[in-house]
Amino acid sequence: MKDINILSVETSCDETSIAIIKNGCEVVALTILTQMDTHANFGGVVPEIASRMHTENITMVLEETLKKSKMSVADVDAIAVTYAPGLVGSLLVGIEFAKTLALVYNKPLIAVNHTIGHIYANNIEHEISYPTLALIVSGGHTDLVILKSEKEIEVLGSTIDDSIGEVYDKVARVLNMPYPGGPNIERLAKSGKVTYDMPRPMDNDSYNFSYSGLKSYIINLVHNEKQRNHEIRFNDLAASFQVAAIDQLVRKVELAFQNLDIKKFILAGGVSANSYLREEMQKLCDKYHVLFHVPNKLYCTDNAAMIGCAAYPLYKAQKFADFTLNAESTSNLDNY
Ligand code: KG4
Ligand code: ZN
């Protein structure tokens, strides 16, 4: 069968990324230009700056990817682009760029959901086989789902308030660490001990998650200790937070293992780059004899390779978008 090469574009937040993916799993070339250092000056992503920087950099990111791949746009079979969820201004830069390439080179256009992209990052090392349980943990999502097939997702539970990634970023800010908070908290936690008691919400039979209580607890604790001039052991606090935050994920996945016939489990999304989370999930899967896969850390955070992987089943099904494609800030996993 002929190889299918998809050129994919991702600009939903603060990474400008373009990849060429062969047959939905092989990374021919990938470029990721992060704006992280710029946004760190503001403590988080500034949407207006993000879209402006995408516009400035996207052509260069394409040239870099083509150079690495030794291909031209004319050689690829389709152009894929993230259309939702994300920052509308940022998404529009990628969408208009992808539409232009599709029009000029007469290629089909494929609209990809970013969250589905995170799931498909798993295909790069181990092809996803269905059905499988999946936990998506990112700056925008905390979802436990069953992937029934390439086309069908059943959502078991989601966060009822903040996402886990959002809370990592907020807690980092309170502990005077720059954006993005996740990797910084993980680093700080390594030298700390679990000495602070933390709330353990959602200790029930629901598959939903809740993180706002943990966030408020830490903000109040730091505030109160500062007012009393008490010493705050930032590394112990980071370790205590991380264990409590991840324990909630582990408990919900374990609940699914106990209640449902689960044989395979995958992790996805930026927070799945966290080593402690990866280790705890591996231990849980060993205990229940469940096959566990998580993407290489490079493919956990935002990148265009995952978008090219997710575009492949849509290419096979000939599900192409037209030039009215627009950006959407939110999306529903049940109905992507
Ligand atoms: O998937 P992603 O790159 O963007 C979204 O789609 O949201 O996820 C970004 C989130 C941020 O909240 C970031 O702090 C978190 O993933 N993150 C981590 C780690 N690396 C990134 N959280 C915990 N530990 C990490 N090592
Ligand atoms: Zn993401």
C-alpha distances (whole Å) from 61 to each of 66, 190, 301 are 9, 35, 17
Cβ contacts of 260 within 8 Å, gap of 6 or more = 133, 146
User: If you take atom 23 of ligand 1, which residue's CA is the nearest one?
Assistant: 182
Phi, psi for residue 7 in degrees, rounded to 5: -90, 125
- Give residue 115 CA to ligand 1 midpoint distance, Å: 13
**Look-up of token digits 């050129």:** 7
Peptide bond into 178 cis (omega under 30): no
Angle made by CA atoms 278, 307, 58, in degrees to the nearest 5 = 115
Phi, psi for residue 126 in degrees, rounded to 5: -140, 120
User: If you take atom 3 of ligand 1, which residue's CA is the nearest one?
Assistant: 301
By the CB criterion, residues less than 5 angstroms from ion ligand 2 are: 138, 302
> Sign of dihedral through CA atoms 285, 290, 296, 301?
negative
Rg (CA), the chain: 20
Q: Which ligand 1 atom lies nearest to the CA of residue 166?
A: 12
- Give residue 87 CA to ligand 1 midpoint distance, Å: 16
Which amino acid, one-letter code, is at 169? D
Q: How far apart are CA 227 and CA 143, in angstroms?
A: 37
Which residues are bridge partners to 239 per DSSP?
none
Please name which ligand lies nearest the alpha carbon of 137: 1
Task: Write out residues with Cβ below 6 Å of ligand 1.
Answer: 13, 118, 138-140, 165, 168-169, 180-183, 186, 269-271, 273-274, 301-302
Q: What is the enclosing helix (H) or strand (E) of 147?
A: strand 142-147
Q: What is the enclosing helix (H) or strand (E) of 227?
A: helix 212-227
Phi, psi for residue 67 in degrees, rounded to 5: -65, -45
- Give residue 181 CA to ligand 1 midpoint distance, Å: 8
- Give residue 228 CA to ligand 1 midpoint distance, Å: 33
pLDDT at 336: 64
What does pLDDT average to in each consecutive run of 10 residues of the chain (336 residues)? 96 97 98 95 93 98 98 98 97 98 98 96 96 96 95 95 96 92 96 96 94 97 95 96 98 98 97 98 98 98 98 97 96 74
Please name which ligand lies nearest the alpha carbon of 39: 1
DSSP 113: E
Which amino acid, one-letter code, is at 149? S
Q: Which ligand 1 atom lies nearest to the CA of residue 168?
A: 14
Domains (range + CATH), the chain = 5-120+299-335 (3.30.420.40), 129-294 (3.30.420.40)
Q: Which ligand 1 atom lies nearest to the CA of residue 140?
A: 7
Burial 171-180 (b: 16+ CB within 10 A, else e): bbbbbebbbb
Q: Which ligand 1 atom lies nearest to the CA of residue 141?
A: 7
User: If you take atom 13 of ligand 1, which residue's CA is the nearest one?
Assistant: 182
User: If you take atom 16 of ligand 1, which residue's CA is the nearest one?
Assistant: 270
Q: Which ligand 1 atom lies nearest to the CA of residue 269?
A: 1
Q: Are 328 and 83 in contact (CB under 8 A)?
A: yes
- Give residue 312 CA to ligand 2 midpoint distance, Å: 19
Query: 321-331 pLDDT, tens per residue?
Result: 999 999 999 98
**Concatenated DSSP letters of 49-97:** HHHHHHHHHHHHHHHHHHHHHT--GGG-SEEEEEEESS-HHHHHHHHHH
Q: Which of 82, 141, 168 to mutate to test the pocket of ligand 1 (most atoms within 8 A of CB)?
A: 168
pTM of the model: 0.96
**CA atoms in the 13 A half-sphere facing the CB of 222:** 19
pLDDT at 333: 80
- Give residue 165 CA to ligand 1 midpoint distance, Å: 5
DSSP 114: H
User: If you take atom 10 of ligand 1, which residue's CA is the nearest one?
Assistant: 139
Q: Which ligand 1 atom lies nearest to the CA of residue 273?
A: 26
Please name which ligand lies nearest the alpha carbon of 178: 1
Q: Which of 120, 280, 281, 301 to mutate to test the pocket of ligand 1 (most atoms within 8 A of CB)?
A: 301
Which residues are bridge partners to 161 per DSSP?
none
